[in-house]
Amino acid sequence: MSVLRPCLLILVTSTTRQFRQVSTFILEDLHNVISPQIAFTFLVYPALILAYMGQAAYLSRHHHSAHAIGFYVSVPKCVHWPVLMIAILASVVGSQAIISGTFSIINQSQSLGCFPRVKVIHTSDKIHGQIYIPEINWMLMVLCIAVTIGFRDVKHLGNASGLAVMAVMLVTTCLMSLVIVLCWHKPPILALAFLLFFGSIELLYFSASLTKFREGAWLPILLSLFFMIIMFVWHYTTIKKYEFDLQNKVSLEWLLALGPSLGISRVPGIGLVFTDLTSGIPANFSRFVTNLPAFHRVLVFVCVKSVPVPFVPPAERYLVGRVGPVDHRSYRCIVRYGYRDVHQDVDSFETELVSKLADFIRYDWHKRTQEDDTARSVRSNESSSESRLAVIGTVAYEIDENLQPESVSIGFTTVESMEDVIEMAEAAPTATIRRVRFAVEEDNYEEDAEAEAELRSELRDLVAAQESGTAFILGHSHVKAKQGSSVMKRLAVNFGYNFLRRNCRGPDVALKVPPVSLLEVGMVYVV
């Protein structure tokens, strides 16, 4: 029995490791699932079971020298080299699965604001999951070479790999218990039973792996601690920056009241002010206006949100609303991306954004014409603040300078409050968009000539501003810890976060903003 116990341990842990590596590789091929499942079930897994059962049988016959017996010693000499070639190919598959999984995890963590911005290259126009991250790829190469040179022993590498696999299994079981309750909506007692049954077994294996901590098993713990510190520092400081923006934002009334005293002028073009806020005016833009009292004729506050869903349908991506009165030509647009969505280049993003603004202007004009006198008075009282946002979907027309009356079909969902906007930005858009069809006929123009002139004038201003060019206004932030903060917080914020920010991709690079159109506004955040 003393010989069979380590044999069973080798059988279970090694089989599970190969199972996870091959499964990860199979899951990458989302468009061809059936054939890998059949191949794995009827070929790969039986081969793994037979291989480790054969090794266990060989150890039971030669237990007197079990300490010196490896896997390849138990392989017959006639198939030694074929087995070696198959093992090399299997290692290639397993390493490719680990690399692809690392790319996917880093990309999703970056989308959720839990990792510094890195360059993500989408290698396929049809399959969104095929990505390549050069910085992470080089980092993996350097770590592999360093670990191989540093250990110089297969035993230490095996101990490090074993502890990493058991830690992954234990963490996966804990997260699976949460999935059972939160996603599958099963009774908590079922999740607890699952956690106790599988978690107790995996905890035993994990504790057994900890006995090899000083013999190489310390490496995965050290790497995990290092990356956890990076993610914690980045996420913590990002949240504190957002709270600082919320506390120091200004209202539109302040900007409108400040205009006559400063003599603010409007220059031709479109100004896209990128901010994390879904309401109010960011502090960096107010500082920009007070020091340089001029901004563009059409002003759009753009908020790019990453929501915790894989994909956001294009028809539900843009939430557009009006900021201030109609003649101010200021808008707010919330753009929602899933963590597996491909971000557009700046040209297509600018074109689509202007198209959505035109759709919103026509929708807002149509809504005004349908309102009664009471609703118009309420709207006029709210004209100095932000209006409700609408989800602007696909439309059956394009921007036209002639503004010919035509029948259109628009999809939209109104948002009752800014809390609804935040919820929609942080949750999956699951509600079905109501389709509304209306016709703009010649009679409507005769009945409401003032609304027609207003619509034509606003759309012409938008088209003229697009032809004049677009400027991208971004904040260039420097973060400092408050006076009296703890030593750990000062180290994390003043040194850790600022070091990561300086050595990672900036927001202008992530948003693919051309340098000729970029306007950065410096801002010091005290968190």
Quote the number of domains for the chain: 1
Of the pLDDT bands very low, low, confident and very high (cuts 50, 70, 90), residue 125 is low
- Asked if the structure places residue 456 within a domain, the reply is yes
Question: 160-169, 371-380, 395-404, 465-474: which range is least confident on average?
Answer: 395-404
Among 39-48, 489-498, 505-514, the range of highest mean pLDDT: 489-498
- Asked if the structure places residue 239 within a domain, the reply is no
Q: Give the mean pLDDT of 59-74.
A: 70
Q: How far is CA 159 from CA 13, 163, 217, in A?
A: 12, 6, 5
Residue 285 is encoded by which pair of tokens? 């833009």
Of the pLDDT bands very low, low, confident and very high (cuts 50, 70, 90), residue 416 is very low
Asked if residues 345 and 517 have their Cβ atoms less than 8 Å apart, the reply is: no
Asked if residues 369 and 405 have their Cβ atoms less than 8 Å apart, the reply is: no
Q: How far is CA 84 from CA 14, 19, 71, 81, 410, in A?
A: 16, 19, 10, 5, 62
Alpha-helical segments (H) within 271-415:
283-291, 346-370, 373-381
What pLDDT score does 430 carry? 37
- Please say if the pLDDT value at position 437 is more than 70: no
- Please say if the pLDDT value at position 362 is more than 70: yes
Q: Give the mean pLDDT of 382-402.
A: 53
The predicted-structure confidence for 177-218, as pLDDT tens digits, reads as follows 999 999 899 999 999 999 999 999 999 989 988 888 888 889
Residues linked to residue 321 through DSSP beta bridges, in sequence order:
332
CB neighbour class for 146 (10 Å; exposed up to 12, middle 13-18, buried from 19): exposed
Of the pLDDT bands very low, low, confident and very high (cuts 50, 70, 90), residue 90 is confident
What pLDDT score does 417 carry? 38
Domain limits for position 366? 249-468
What pLDDT score does 28 carry? 45
What pLDDT score does 233 carry? 92
- Asked if the structure places residue 299 within a domain, the reply is yes
Of the pLDDT bands very low, low, confident and very high (cuts 50, 70, 90), residue 436 is very low
What pLDDT score does 389 carry? 74
Of the pLDDT bands very low, low, confident and very high (cuts 50, 70, 90), residue 455 is confident
Three-class DSSP category at 78: helix
Asked if residues 409 and 437 have their Cβ atoms less than 8 Å apart, the reply is: yes
**What secondary structure letter does DSSP report for 496?**
I
Closest CA to 138 of 153, 117, 118: 118
Residue 408: enclosing H or E segment and its boundaries? strand 407-411
The predicted-structure confidence for 219-278, as pLDDT tens digits, reads as follows 999 999 999 999 999 999 989 888 888 888 777 777 666 655 556 777 888 888 888 887
- Asked if the structure places residue 178 within a domain, the reply is no
- Please say if the pLDDT value at position 412 is more than 50: no
Choose between 359 and 414: higher pLDDT.
359
Asked if residues 341 and 392 have their Cβ atoms less than 8 Å apart, the reply is: no
Of the pLDDT bands very low, low, confident and very high (cuts 50, 70, 90), residue 438 is very low
Choose between 383 and 502: higher pLDDT.
502
C-alpha torsion 312→313→317→319, nearest 10: -110
- Asked if the structure places residue 277 within a domain, the reply is yes
- Asked if the structure places residue 526 within a domain, the reply is no
The predicted-structure confidence for 5-37, as pLDDT tens digits, reads as follows 333 333 333 333 443 444 444 344 444 567 777
The predicted-structure confidence for 271-323, as pLDDT tens digits, reads as follows 888 888 877 788 778 777 777 777 888 888 888 887 777 788 888 888 888 88
| Mean pLDDT taken over the chain | 75
Choose between 64 and 3: higher pLDDT.
64
Among 45-49, 137-141, 400-404, 458-462, the range of highest mean pLDDT: 137-141
- Asked if the structure places residue 142 within a domain, the reply is no
- Please say if the pLDDT value at position 390 is more than 90: no
Identity (one letter) of the amino acid at 251? S
Look at phi and psi of residue 467 and say left if phi exceeds 0, alpha if psi is from -120 to 50, else beta: alpha
What pLDDT score does 425 carry? 39
How many percent of the chain have pLDDT more than 90?
Answer: 9
- Asked if the structure places residue 329 within a domain, the reply is yes
- Please say if the pLDDT value at position 471 is more than 90: no
